[in-house]
Amino acid sequence: MDFQFTKAEHLTRKKEFERVFNEGRVFKNNEVVLYVIPNDFLHSRLGLVVSKKVGNAVRRNRAKRLLREAYRLNKHLLKTHVDIIAIPRHPFSSALKLLDIEDEFKKLLLQINRTFSQFCSKGGNVCLER
């Protein structure tokens, strides 16, 4: 298992973000909203959108660090390659710990697997066997 989060795994371009927002499926819980769409790459990619409603710069950066780390530690659970945009819900509590975020993130990743397994079986994307 590779626990690195490389540059290739970042969503960076405006067109990529727009595509995910416009065509992607939405998965949400109390802490985070995920927009997800299958991609044609050999890896999944993550983009982060953190508005000023989350808090000051310190809180926004903490939210990004926690979401990035939760993704990095659990990306191996994804059975298909997808582009994900993660948006923390506001107010994003500064009392939240990585374990809290990680548990919720895992649940959403499993939901993504269930949703896109049908897409995979129809030949839409390369599915990973683990």
Tens of pLDDT, residues 106-130: 999 999 999 988 765 555 555 544 3
Q: Domains in the chain and their CATH numbers?
A: 7-121 (3.30.230.10)
Which token pair is 100?
């809290």
- What residue has token string 């659970």? 77
pLDDT reading at 33 higher than 90: yes
Would strands 45-48 and 32-38 be described as parallel, antiparallel, or unpaired? unpaired
pLDDT (0 to 100) of residue 129: 42
pLDDT (0 to 100) of residue 11: 94
Residue 91: name the closest of 31, 36, 25 by CA. 31
Q: pLDDT-based confidence at 2, cuts 50/70/90?
A: confident
Tens of pLDDT, residues 57-111: 998 999 999 999 999 999 999 999 999 999 998 777 778 889 989 999 999 999 9
